[in-house]
Structure 1
Amino acid sequence: MYEVHILFVGYCKTTIDGNLANCTCTLIKGPKNIIVDTMTPWDTNNLLKALAQYGLSCEDINYVVSTHGHSDHVGNNNLFLKAQHIVGRCVSYEQLYYSDSKFFNTEGIYNIDNKIKIVTTPGHTATDVSVIVHTIDGTIGIVGDLFEKEEDIEDESIWLNAGSENPELQKKNRELILKQVDWIIPGHGPMFSTKNYK
């Protein structure tokens, strides 16, 4: 069975110079060890310490999933040299970049196993993905910036102002994910239950 551990909760705050932001970083621990969204390059030491608290090193990670390619979501991907890397729908290992059809089926889903799948959820960017994990605590969606934070369900301006390459598609994928999962781990806020939004 898989356990989901939030290593760092993301945030986004407006300052006079711009946005002060970092993404949520999540560890999926189990038969396959997966890290989702590796924050900025300045977070390396904190990330290594957080993994060690769960008895893991970079060599123990089987998959690195970046929900999309923005710099606050890919900053430490280079630490995980034994892992397959999935950045959006781009799947690679070392210098080999696979055709996405090798892993993603015609419905846009990459099944890691019968408990974890990577789902295509474009909108924020054209190639966004989300990770769906079945756990004893329910089904958890790790969705990157598909949802910025829980408050953006009531106030759409939050996710729209965060940047959306395709707002109509993002809205559609937000609704689909809400129906599929019990919990959402958003890109820039704490995990929340979906029960009040279905």
Structure 2
Amino acid sequence: MCDIVVMYDGYSNLKNKHEMKANCSCTLIKGFHNIVVDTMTSWDRDKIILALKKEDLTVDDISYVISTHGHSDHIGNNNLFLKAKHIVGFSVSFKDDYYLHPFDEGEEFKINNNVKVIPTPGHTLTDVTVLVISNSKETVALTGDLFEKFEDIEDPGIWLDAGSEDEVLQRKNRSKVAQLADWIVPGHGPKFKVTDEIREILLKQIHIQS
């Protein structure tokens, strides 16, 4: 099993038509492999090092760094982790070695018995979600911007306004992940519990014309 520590909750607040304040959720998975998911902006280096120190870890203790997609607020400190294998969207690499995993064919990437990475395109066409079995035997989905925040369940305009390269795929994958997960860590908000009501709402939204 794994211990899942949300080191920093993401946020996004529109200031005006042309400006917003935003940063992504940054999560540590402690287990057979230590994994960091989404490394925030380039200005958050010291925050990540401090958060790892609180967990008695250093950057060299991290085996995998996973960026749910390639936007700047999700990859800003990937270069802290020079001993880790990196997964950025559909790209898997270590140093200058690249591994051609068929995410585009729907195939999951299994890290160990408790952690796997699945393709969930929509926000970008190469988005991934990390599914983790926690110490309490619940499934936690670290989704990046597949889910912007809890409020976008009732108000899809939130995730649509955040940008979607394929709205139809994103609706389908939001519903798919909700069927698999007990908890969701969204890209820009606190972790939330997935209820049957949420699953029903998301299933109905698949059929909404974008």
Pick the TM interval, shorter chain: over 0.9
Normalising by structure 1, we get a TM-score of 0.96
Instruction: Output the amino acid matched with 1:85.
Output: H
Q: Residue 124 of structure 2 contacts residue 165 of structure 2 at CA under 8 Å; is this kept in 1?
A: yes
Separation in 1 of the partners of 2:40 and 2:48? 9
Structure 1 unaligned segments of length 5 or more: list them. Answer: none
For the residues of structure 2 that align with 1:112 and 1:7, how far apart are their CA atoms? 21
TM-score, with length taken from structure 2: 0.91
Tell me the CA shift for residue 136 of structure 1: 2.8
Q: Report Cα offsets for 1:61-105 as digits up to 9, x if no partner.
A: 00000000000000000000000000001000001112123xx59
Partner of 1:186: 186
- Paired residue for 1:5? 5
Match of 1:171 in 2: 171
Report the CA distance shift for 1:105/1:126 in structure 2 as closer, same or farther (over 3 A): closer
Matches within 5 A, 1:1-198: 1-16=1-16, 17-101=18-102, 104=103, 106-137=105-136, 138-195=138-195, 196-198=197-199
- Percent of pairs identical after alignment? 51
Moved over 4 A (4+): none
SS at match of 1:48: helix
Aligned residues of 2:69 and 2:144 also touching (Cα < 8 A): yes
Aligned equivalents of 1:146 and 1:58: distance in 2? 27
What SS does structure 2 have at the residue aligned with 1:55? coil
| Cα RMSD for the two superposed structures | 1.2
State the one-letter code of the partner of 2:91: C
Query: Which residue identity lines up with residue 194 of structure 2 in the other structure?
Result: T
C-alpha separation in 2, matches of 1:109 and 1:30: 19
CA distance in 1, matches of 2:82, 2:186: 26
Q: Which residue of 1 aligns with 2:205?
A: none
Shift of 1:123: 0.2
